Structure 1
């Protein structure tokens, strides 16, 4: 079975909106686009390149697809695998796009993604796609969260874990802390929550 891996830049208060640039996503008046830029460093860059060079297909929301479709074909030397990967796009309005190969999903998105997970192929990487991620979390479809956590709070914006997040346990399989405070951590799904009484 293919895994769904969510890869996100996230603030301490859980915001994932527009880390890459001022105009990336200004919906709801978000004013801090590009908030991750000043924290670029060699450690995070190396880890990002490793993820970007793994075999994968992409699972994207419509907005992320529309942002990426004109960009990555013009920057193939930076991320050649993105252009070769199948782009599965969750959208009830788009049915085609120029960034190929692309497959557009509508209707019961959770059911269609469940079917895709059961097919043969590389893991499915999810970048951005805040609305789609909420659907994936709600239906327990995320196998791995690969997060870059930044030492900053933003106060508002689209959050990684919003209403509808299910109770779930995870285990850390890898983590690194950059000198500037950015934490790169890999959380893999680890069953249900275990409760008990903490010791004194």
Structure 2
């Protein structure tokens, strides 16, 4: 059965973004990002995302892929993101020009996708989409890049849970940038 991997950048106080969506607290760590992107591409053949992240990331990755100043490893990852089939979760969209699928009901769609042949799926989402996936208990693995910064306020990763999320730590690594990569399985 295919798994859902939630891939996020998070602060020590559990924020996915600042109060106004700020992401300026993320530190660059090309070596860590290359390792993670290689592992992700080996395991995943479907990207799950929300509407806002889809539009922002799509433009950003297309620009990075086309920029001659972009490092080759970034171009490779950007092209993978652009070319990988996507399911965009939205209650306001009905179709997308690039052929990506639109879905509204997270539990129903994930159940159907799990039964289809293929590799695992990765959720690149903004805070709202990530929170909804967590609330619906459809995340199988959490791939977390924990940044050494505290915002004090912002868009939290975990909110409005109807039940406790019990996780099992299966990987941790500290990087010279101060970022710690963590992987948890849902139990």
Q: Given the two structures, how large is their TM-score scaled by the length of structure 2? A: 0.84
SS of 1:173's partner is: strand
Q: Check the 8 A contact 1:137/1:166 in 2, yes or no.
A: no
Q: Is 2:45 aligned against 1:46? A: no
Q: Check the 8 A contact 1:61/1:130 in 2, yes or no.
A: no
1:61-80 counterparts in 2 under 5 A?
61-76=50-65, 77-79=75-77, 80=79
Shift of 1:165: 5.6
Q: Is 2:63 aligned against 1:58? A: no
Partner residue, 2:91? 92
Higher helix share: 2
Task: Return the alpha-carbon distance in structure 2 between the equivalents of residues 182 and 128 of structure 1.
Answer: 20
Task: Return the alpha-carbon distance in structure 2 between the equivalents of residues 8 and 132 of structure 1.
Answer: 11
1:45-194 counterparts in 2 under 5 A?
45-54=33-42, 55-76=44-65, 77-79=75-77, 80-98=79-97, 100-106=98-104, 108-164=105-161, 166-190=163-187
Larger radius of gyration: 1
Task: Return the alpha-carbon distance in structure 2 between the equivalents of residues 161 and 177 of structure 1.
Answer: 23
Task: Return the alpha-carbon distance in structure 1 between the equivalents of residues 107 and 153 of structure 2.
Answer: 27
Q: Given the two structures, how large is their TM-score scaled by the length of structure 1? A: 0.79
Task: Return the alpha-carbon distance in structure 2 between the equivalents of residues 33 and 170 of structure 1.
Answer: 26
Shift of 1:70: 2.1
Task: Return the alpha-carbon distance in structure 2 between the equivalents of residues 56 and 87 of structure 1.
Answer: 9
Q: What root-mean-square deviation, in Å, do the aligned CA atoms of Structure 1 and Structure 2 show?
A: 2.0
Q: How many pairs does the alignment contain?
A: 176
Q: Check the 8 A contact 2:45/2:120 in 1, yes or no.
A: yes
Q: Check the 8 A contact 1:176/1:185 in 2, yes or no.
A: yes
SS of 2:155's partner is: coil
Structure 2 unaligned runs (5+)? Answer: 66-74
Q: Is 2:13 aligned against 1:13? A: yes
SS of 1:16's partner is: strand
